[in-house]
Chain A
Amino acid sequence: MPSAATESVFKALADPTRRAVFEQLSRGEMTVGALVERFPLSQPAMSQHLSALRAAGLVAQRKEGRHSYYRIEPRGLKPLADWVDRYRAFWPGKLEKLRSVLKEMEP
């Protein structure tokens, strides 16, 4: 069933920079400062990307003292995985139907 969560996951991951940040976090949690060191982004820009990833349920944050640590939220990918599964079944089925239609058509 389509849901609000899937839409923001799609949008969040459509941006290549956010995808790269997401991949970086998949290797272990990091602070914003550590992330900023790895990417050619200002802290505000990085924070914005992290907000989008959090809003999409892809990334979670925890605070320890003065630091905020960001980590991957693996369940956040589920709606996307469901979408992929759905269409991986859908299109081959349509291609089979297309083949039948082509067969029925005049040469």
Chain B
Amino acid sequence: MNDRESTRAGAGASKTATDEAGELLFECELSDPPEKVWKALTTPKLVAAWLSAIDFRAEVGARFRVEDESVGTVECTVLAIEPLREIRYAWRERGPDVRESVVTFSLMPTIQRGTLLRIVHERAPQNAVHVPSARAAAGAVCAQTRSWRWAA
């Protein structure tokens, strides 16, 4: 199951890559500036609109829910906020057992005055507090320093 796919078509393009070591990375170039994207990522009404989040608050420790037919009910806790740069949540799918993962959104300004948005979804980090920042994780993916592969 070692697969890596990326499609790039200029502005507005998104890229999906699967890092074998346990995380999914999505990248998206937006024409909006970081301040505006940050607003969309942290304003409760807007987060409710695009993420189907209920009771979202951009506050470390805040708990909220995501409801989506493809993933069911997910219980989230805001873990970290770096204004205009990064927001991270614990992502806990409901089920017979608890499956923990961590989602990190990070923003980087582009030369075109837009935003490079990265979403890193990490599975079961050893310690949620010490999860590396999305930049480090994305850098590791790009550098391809990890050579481990899934067995087919």
A70 at the binding interface (Cβ < 8 Å) = no
Contact of A95 among B14, B95, B97 (CB under 8 A): B14
Q: Which of B49, B68, B99, B150 contacts A6 (CB 8 A)?
A: B99
Contacting residues, chain A, for B95 (C-beta < 8 A): 1-3
- Which B residues lie within 8 Å of A87 (CB)? 24, 71, 121
Q: Which of B1-57 contact A (CB under 8 A)?
A: 1, 14, 16, 18, 21-22, 24, 26, 28, 30, 32, 36-37, 39-40, 46, 49-51
Which of chain A's residues have a CB closer than 8 A to the CB of B94?
A: 2
Q: Which B residues are in CB contact (< 8 Å) with A91?
A: 16, 24, 26, 119, 121
Q: Does A77 contact B (CB under 8 A)?
A: yes
Q: Which residue of A lies closest to B72 (CB)?
A: A2
B124 on the A face (CB < 8 A):
yes
CB contact under 8 A between A101 and B49, given known A2-B97, A14-B126? yes
Chain A residues with CB under 8 Å of B68's CB are: 90
Dominant SS at the B interface? mixed
Show 28 A/B contacts (Cβ-Cβ < 8 Å), sorted by A: A2-B72, A3-B96, A4-B97, A6-B97, A10-B99, A10-B124, A11-B124, A14-B123, A14-B125, A19-B21, A23-B151, A26-B149, A26-B150, A74-B152, A77-B1, A86-B70, A87-B121, A90-B68, A91-B24, A91-B121, A95-B14, A95-B26, A95-B117, A95-B119, A98-B117, A100-B50, A102-B32, A102-B40
Beyond contacts A3-B95, A3-B97, A105-B39: 17 other A-B pairs, Cβ-Cβ < 8 A, are A2-B72, A2-B95, A4-B97, A7-B97, A11-B124, A14-B22, A23-B149, A74-B151, A77-B150, A87-B71, A88-B24, A89-B70, A90-B70, A100-B50, A101-B46, A101-B49, A102-B32
